[in-house]
Structure 1
Amino acid sequence: MIFHLETERLILRELRITDLEGIFELDSNPEVHKYLGNKTINTKQDAEKIIAFIINQYKENGIGRFAVIEKSTGNFIGWSGLKLNKGTKESLNGFQDFIDIGYRFIPRYWKKGYALESAIACLEYGFKTMNLDIIYGAAETENIGSNKILQKIGLQFVNEFEEDNKQVNWYELKKANYGK
């Protein structure tokens, strides 16, 4: 899958094996995984598996998370995008076979507005290019930053649920309400 989307400061593109160092830096960092079940990776082989999994999502589902590249430096700074969660293995809050929006960045790129900027672009892509009817989002209740981003891009709070002994907020945005 070839994918290319640009914002003012970012390039979003398909994840590649050349992003190995960036994925390892991202997913081996306990700070990044604080609200993600504290499931960091330990080896570059683990990072390779993540990349292979996402590349397989592109092939099977036509969508997956995308590498985010900072235009000014060319650096891999994290990922953002839409994902098809399918089957009971990936069910969440009683839902399965749904598209969610997500983002994850290396800490030195936090608090620069990159998550919001990339999420806005991905939401637009989902509704205007992919013609999706609804996009969901979830964030642990304690993850204030992620909850704020989901709200800023227009997702509406639906309910709170428990996942892995953590409270999680569930959001949705229907295409009919997009941009309102």
Structure 2
Amino acid sequence: MVHIQTDRLNIRDIEASDVEGIFVLDSDPEVLRYIGTPVMTQRAQAEQVIAHIRRQYQKNGIGRWAMELRSTGEFIGWTGLKWEQDIRPFPYYDLGYRLIRKYWGQGYATESARASLRHGFEVLGYPEICAAAEADNLASNRILRKIGMKQGEPFTFEGKVCNWYALKKEEA
């Protein structure tokens, strides 16, 4: 199911057929450099990730979405919102994105993040959407500032300094 269309992207539910794309994405150590999750070595791990995301859809009504090129239908990564309860001492709607490396630097993360914010506020009615990025992840921090998120106080998660961002619906 497509949730969002942008000029260049279809943003839809992640499906079992996305296993190869998820594997390519999460088997690249450079993609995971600031994430803290281990590099995938088997496609079965991608199947487990997909099952986890699909459970989030059922449990929370939200979860990360597949990002594909409108022109070709090619899976290029994931984007979107999820209900996050582990990173901070409070729950929040989290904005995130992750792209296969060959698609970096082409504006897809920014395009999908803007669309996800708009969907969260206008369609889902969320009062606030937040995001976190490792302080050293300059590209992700730049994207979050570019889309208008307000930077808050840094915090430490799993021994790494992270920047905190939030945007209220009325500020969007």
Alignment equivalent of 1:133, drawn from 115, 127, 130: 127
Please tell me the residue identity of whatever aligns with 1:24: F
Give, in whole Å, the separation in 2 of the partners of 1:3 and 1:24. 21
Give, in whole Å, the separation in 2 of the partners of 1:50 and 1:85. 16
Give, in whole Å, the separation in 2 of the partners of 1:76 and 1:3. 13
1:151 equivalent in structure 2 = 145
Shift of 1:85: 1.2
- The answer as to 2:119 corresponding to 1:120 is no
CA deviations over 1:17-59 (Å, ceiling 9, x no partner): 0000000000111001000115212111100000000011111
1:110 equivalent in structure 2 = 104
Give, in whole Å, the separation in 2 of the partners of 1:94 and 1:150. 21
Shift of 1:176: 1.4
CA deviations over 1:100-133 (Å, ceiling 9, x no partner): 1000000000000000000000000000000000
Alignment equivalent of 1:93, drawn from 73, 88, 93: 88
Give, in whole Å, the separation in 2 of the partners of 1:137 and 1:98. 9
Contact 1:30 1:38 (C-alpha < 8 Å) held by counterparts: no
- The answer as to 2:42 corresponding to 1:12 is no
Runs of 4+ residues over 4 Å off in structure 1: none
Please tell me the residue identity of whatever aligns with 1:66: W
TM-score (norm 2): 0.97
% same residue: 46
What is the DSSP-based 3-state SS (H/G/I as helix, E as strand, rest coil) of the residue aligned with 1:159? coil
Over the residues paired in the alignment, what is the CA RMSD in angstroms? 1.0
Give, in whole Å, the separation in 1 of the partners of 2:54 and 2:169. 27
Shift of 1:163: 1.2
Shift of 1:3: 3.9
Please tell me the residue identity of whatever aligns with 1:83: K
1:56 equivalent in structure 2 = 55
What is the DSSP-based 3-state SS (H/G/I as helix, E as strand, rest coil) of the residue aligned with 2:130? strand
What is the DSSP-based 3-state SS (H/G/I as helix, E as strand, rest coil) of the residue aligned with 1:63? coil
What is the DSSP-based 3-state SS (H/G/I as helix, E as strand, rest coil) of the residue aligned with 1:99? strand
Contact 2:79 2:112 (C-alpha < 8 Å) held by counterparts: yes
Shift of 1:158: 0.7
> Which ranges in structure 2 are unaligned for 5 or more consecutive residues?
none
Please tell me the residue identity of whatever aligns with 1:55: R
